[in-house]
């Protein structure tokens, strides 16, 4: 059909620098989509695990029993379960070492362990998000470089022609503009996924922080309930 665009034919007849640019952009796009699908699966799993663990935690189960249940997963515990396990393990360790008399030291050690565990879990979830940001930022410029280079080659070829028409210029410019289109194709999904997943990750991070505060309150109340009641003051004899 007249006027139809054959992208494959344009790529085949493009100059080698433009082909190299297109290859780089194809790699960027492919790896971005792999990360996008994997990151979606990770964030969905993290949200589901958080829902399930919070439902279990607030069901009134004994903390020691829940700790043993989480520990029996043989290192598979993640998300809120990992935060809980780290905090409760440090809480028990400090009390076994005789730190139960200093409640502040016990709580600080437990909260510190939970913060470290929470940070590790967030780092796992945000892994490769930076790559999506980089692809979204530089892909358009890489495509623009290919376009500029292709246009330079096209106009350079016109120097050997005595008469230049649109028919002679159009193929070279079309080949060059394919690089810009490919740059947009790689950049737009990467930018959208980065913004989307960054928002979801921020919500999960807030959820982890909130759980740490709530769990600290639970441990604090537990320590207070286990403190022996102060001795009553002796009453003066009635005369």
pLDDT tens digit at each of 239 positions of the chain: 445 556 666 666 666 777 888 899 999 999 999 999 999 999 999 999 999 999 999 988 888 888 888 877 755 667 899 999 999 999 988 888 765 567 788 889 999 999 999 999 999 999 999 999 999 999 999 988 888 887 777 777 666 655 655 555 666 677 778 888 889 999 999 999 999 999 999 999 999 999 999 999 998 888 777 654 444 444 444 44
Looking at residue 229, its pLDDT comes to: 44
In whole angstroms, what is the distance from residue 191 CA to residue 116 CA?
Answer: 30
Residue-level pLDDT at 111: 92
Closest CA to 35 of 105, 122, 112, 126: 126
H-run or E-run covering 146:
helix 129-158
Q: Which of these, 150, 134, 144, 179, lies nearest to 28 by C-alpha position?
A: 134
Under 8 Å between Cβ of 18 and 150: yes
Between helix 166-226 and helix 103-125 the angle, nearest 10°, is 160
Question: What is the per-residue pLDDT for 170?
Answer: 61
Provide the total of helices (H) and of strands (E) in the chain, helices listed first. Answer: 7, 0
- The separation between CA 170 and the C-alpha centre of its own chain, rounded to angstroms, equals 44
Non-local (6+) Cβ contacts of 81 within 8 A are 49, 53, 70, 73
Quick one: tokens of 204? 């999960």
Identify the pLDDT of residue 27. 95
Question: What's the confidence (pLDDT) of residue 22?
Answer: 86
């Amino acid at each position: 059909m007249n006027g139809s665009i054959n992208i494959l034919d344009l790529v085949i007849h493009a100059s080698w620098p433009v082909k190299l640019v297109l290859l780089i952009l194809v790699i960027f796009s492919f790896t971005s989509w792999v990360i996008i699908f994997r990151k979606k699966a990770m964030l969905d799993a993290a949200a589901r695990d958080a829902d399930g663990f919070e439902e279990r935690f607030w069901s009134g189960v004994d903390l020691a029993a829940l700790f043993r249940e989480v520990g029996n997963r043989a290192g598979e515990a993640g998300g809120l379960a990992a935060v809980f396990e780290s905090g409760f393990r440090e809480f028990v360790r400090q009390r076994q070492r005789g730190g139960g008399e200093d409640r502040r030291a016990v709580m600080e050690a437990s909260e510190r362990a939970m913060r470290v565990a929470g940070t590790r879990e967030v780092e796992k979830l945000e892994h490769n998000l930076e790559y999506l940001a980089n692809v979204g930022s530089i892909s358009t410029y890489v495509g623009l470089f290919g376009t500029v280079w292709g246009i330079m080659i096209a106009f350079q070829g016109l120097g050997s022609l005595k008469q230049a028409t649109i028919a002679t210029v159009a193929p070279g410019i079309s080949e060059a503009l394919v690089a810009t289109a490919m740059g947009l194709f790689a950049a737009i999904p990467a930018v959208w996924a980065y913004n989307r997943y960054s928002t979801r990750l921020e919500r999960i991070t807030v959820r982890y922080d909130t759980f740490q505060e709530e769990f600290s309150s639970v441990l604090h109340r537990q320590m207070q309930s286990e403190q022996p009641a102060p001795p009553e003051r002796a009453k003066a004899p009635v005369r």
